Amino acid sequence: MKTIGVLTSGGDAPGMNAAIRAVVRTAIENNMHVLGINNGYDGLMKGDVIEMNLRSVSNILNRGGTILHSARSEGFKTEAGQKKAAEMCKALGIEGLVIIGGDGSFRGAQALATLGITCVGIPGTIDNDIACTDETIGFDTAMNTVMEMVDKIRDTAESHSRCSVVEVMGRDAGYIALYSGIAVGATIILVPEVEYDMQKDVIDVMKRTLATGKHHFVIIVAEGCGLATKMAKEIEEETGVETRATILGHVQRGGSPTVKDRVLASRMGNYAARVLRYDNRSCIVAEKDNKIVDYPINEALAMTKELDIDTYRMAHEISI
């Protein structure tokens, strides 16, 4: 393989730039040309590409977001859009693609692979909801961001004897909520994978904890569990504890990536470029037991990932 492309797709995640850097430098060191594709699959359909060189990726290791930008493309979801993207790859001389993103991005890679374009996916999403890998690029940074923000919120909650309901990202996956909740000592953690009863699992727990002498509370709620503002109102009405809701939102996507994310992204980017150069096959790169491995795209997309219920149980057992 002589020419490859690299793009980022879906929601941005800290560490994507580190992955881009590793792909570009590994490819060039192994005698390949690299085209950076702007704005994900939408940019691919339009042929919006730039020639990448060693200096194109200087000083981006520590930057959040993605220098190639990202965009969701309705057009690419259609069969016609996918064919247009595949034809553009051939017109530009792109023999293989590195696609950094989440589940939706990998389904796009799956479609392009069936059209004859070799695709290697790198899991980059703060939600950590890609089944084939232990961790995704951006997850560790997002957790640390939540921890930092909630530590600050706790200071004012304690000063005013309040309850703070903090909503974090995770529409379908509760990994950020669970692990950041443990890290900040949240009294209650709610995740979409586990059904909860507002009276039994929130109100009654708070009343029991109040009886032990505790006067301030932090509750971490994944966005897939309902509205934090509505929950805060109900808590205040039922317990008498002044309650405030905080929705952290997209602050969780930004910021300089942690050491862990920079190293993971670098390892995955290096691996992806070498797969294209020497193996010429489509796959999804993953981390398993601290080793970088890969799976065929169809196999990776068919895998399922379950939240560690024992860790969830432990979190509540030590929270009172």
Q: Cite the active site residues.
A: 127
Tell me the one-letter amino acid at 46: K
The string of DSSP codes covering 23-84 is HHHHHHHTT-EEEEETTHHHHHHHT-EEEE-GGGGTT-TT--S-TT-----TGGGSHHHHHH
What residues form DSSP beta bridges with 219?
Answer: 165, 188
Are the C-beta atoms of 189 and 316 separated by less than 8 Å? yes
| 3-state SS assignment for residue 119 | strand
Angle between helices 139-159 and 175-184 (to 10 degrees): 50
First to last CA, the chain: 58
- Element (H or E) spanning 166, and its range? strand 163-168
Pairing of the two strands 96-101 and 118-123:
parallel
**Alpha-carbon distances, residue 59 vs 29, 159, 318 (angstroms):** 18, 41, 42
